[in-house]
A and B are shown apart, each in its own frame.
Chain A
Amino acid sequence: MVILSKVFRNTYRDSYLLMKMATAIRGREGVGNAEVMQATEPNKGLLSGGGLLTDEIRDATPNDLFICVVAEDPEKARQAFEQAKEMLEKGIALPEKTQVSKSFNSALAMLPEANLALISIPGPYVKKEALKALGKGLHLFIFSNNVEIRDEIEIKEWAIPRGLLVMGPDCGTGSIQGTALGFANKVRRGPVGLVGASGTGLQEVSVLLHQMGLGISHAIGTGSNDVSDAVGGMTMIQAIQMLEADPATEVIVVVSKPPGAMTKAKVLGHLQQCRKPVVANFLGESQEPTRGGNILFTVTLEETACRAAERLKGKWGHDLPTDIREPQSLEEEAKKLQGPQQFLRGLFSGGTLATEAGLILQGLGLPLSGNISLPGVQKLKDIRTSDGHVVVDLGADEFTMGKPHPMLEPEMRKERLLAEARDPEVAVILLDFVLGYGVHPDPVGASLPFIQEARRVARQEGRHLSFVASVCGTDEDPQNKAGQVKKLQETGVFVFSSNAQATRAAARLALRA
């Protein structure tokens, strides 16, 4: 193998472009590996782990960028390297009409009525930009992760007394006054206000409400660290108060990864003071739906949407469709599976959708392994190799270090899917497809080639492989949800209206109950 690497001094490109470059180069014939990154310490660590750290890269700074290519022979390495350089020089062309500035201050001069700053720059630089924007009275949506907790606390302590909302850091999803922020769906406006430390949790509940003919006022993302005891739920509490005061919100829905104990007590205290009905889902913390005064606790995202709809008191739209394809055909599908095929493999791009699937499968008595944080889910010995019934969140950090998130690049699920197809004990693959703004323009179209390849792999070994999916989206999303569903169904994938329904159907196939 030949290694070719170079540092480009004082060269910065955004992380998305760098990942696209690396993915394109890795796809070339004869290329074993490629990394294109800013020379930050974590990225250097990644290279060092792969034995690729050169002295030149070690001495580089975060303002520098490196390209590193590993190929079969010098000519393949050189050609791959040249392609990377070309992509680097071209960058991403912005549409002509886009208003672009070099700094926040000049951007504000161009748009003095700006009321929100969306920040997605490397974590160490976020505080400075955030405080600049807050100082000019803008609310914040911070997509960036790797922001120091003390920076997050400082930003929120500055913003909250001034009535400014800080969604994030590490906030992937939000919707304010019908505008989708980050990865978010186009959802009908309506009376349900959501707040959450859970991106696909907010997305799934929102799209289910939309499917029921209802709508949302806002979906306020808090960022993944907000509900830790260190940050104390500052944004979550602020958002609850905002929704309580908002005349357009009639029911408050909370969807959150389990908070720290002290934070949970504070959040519940604020929820109990709400006059409006509350539906709260802490993802795995409550195993039984229970009432706590005005608060109804739920277990699954589907249940969260249904209970929120019920609490609208007579403004119920219509029932959630039970499934998109005839349930009898599931029994026909089950007959195609052989005796040894007993396992379910859930390969998820949405973390909370993976957690919901895990909760449902555990409730059905399936012993589970995977990388989701639920009590009773075993860690896999090797995260990349499944054993038994498995649910993996392929968007988690351990899979996306230096690589695009599967919601941005569906191809990231290919390798794992093909590995599962080669396993003779696998009965059914469970998938989520997340639509909306900010994510891939055609998640299903991009995935079909390797779904079909997986079927071929199994067929060559004399096996049928079942596929079950849900599509988290609305008819107003840019990807044309009906078209996405149709493409899946035409390939023999069973598509359901919710992740919960898809999970239950997949379990039926695996258990043949």
Chain B
Amino acid sequence: MKIINTGLPQFMEALEAQSITVVHVDWKPPTEEDEEIGKLLESLL
């Protein structure tokens, strides 16, 4: 298994302890600006 872990770091640590290849996403909630840019991009594509 090869896993992308988004959210709580302890799950990433648990996977690494099992020698599973994992990339951790240091997720943050989108800001209002991010949301507006996202909507703008969607309208263009």
Interface residues of chain A, those whose CB is within 8 Å of chain B, are 10, 12, 14-16, 62-63, 92, 94-95, 97-104, 107-108, 110-111, 113-122, 125, 129, 133, 138, 143-144, 176-177, 179-182, 186, 437-438, 478
Contact assessment for B25 and A16 in the assembled complex, using a CB-CB cutoff below 8 Å: no
Query: How distant is A90 from chain B, measured CB to nearest CB, in Å?
Result: 13
B interface residues, tally (CB under 8 Å): 31
Partner of B4 from the list A14, A138, A478 (CB cut-off 8 Å) is A138
Contact assessment for B4 and A12 in the assembled complex, using a CB-CB cutoff below 8 Å: no
Interchain CA distance A110-B22 in the complex, whole Å: 10
Contact assessment for B6 and A108 in the assembled complex, using a CB-CB cutoff below 8 Å: no
> Binary interface profile of B, 1-16, with partner A (CB < 8 Å = 1, else 0)?
1111111111111111
Interface residues of chain B, those whose CB is within 8 Å of chain A, are 1-18, 20-32
Partner of A118 from the list B6, B17, B30 (CB cut-off 8 Å) is B6
Contact assessment for A111 and B7 in the assembled complex, using a CB-CB cutoff below 8 Å: no
Q: Which residues of B sit under 8 angstroms from A186, Cβ to Cβ?
A: 18
Partner of B6 from the list A10, A63, A129, A179 (CB cut-off 8 Å) is A129
Contact assessment for B6 and A114 in the assembled complex, using a CB-CB cutoff below 8 Å: no
Interface contacts beyond A100-B24, A102-B25, A129-B6: sample of 17 additional A-B pairs, CB < 8 Å, sorted by A:
A62-B29, A94-B12, A94-B24, A99-B22, A102-B26, A107-B4, A107-B24, A108-B4, A111-B4, A113-B2, A116-B3, A118-B3, A118-B4, A118-B15, A138-B4, A177-B1, A438-B14
With A95-B13, A115-B2, A119-B7 as contacts: A437 and B18 at CB distance below 8 Å = yes
> By DSSP majority rule, is chain B's interface helix, strand, loop, or mixed?
mixed
Contact assessment for B3 and A104 in the assembled complex, using a CB-CB cutoff below 8 Å: no
Which residue of chain B has its CB nearest to the CB of A10? Answer: B31
Contact assessment for A478 and B17 in the assembled complex, using a CB-CB cutoff below 8 Å: yes
7 shortest interchain CB distances as A-B pairs: A120-B7, A437-B14, A120-B8, A121-B7, A107-B23, A99-B23, A12-B28
Contact assessment for A101 and B24 in the assembled complex, using a CB-CB cutoff below 8 Å: yes
What are 19 A-B pairs with beta-carbon distances under 8 A?
A: A16-B8, A63-B29, A94-B9, A101-B24, A107-B24, A111-B2, A114-B2, A116-B2, A116-B4, A117-B5, A118-B6, A118-B7, A120-B8, A121-B29, A144-B7, A176-B1, A179-B1, A180-B14, A437-B17
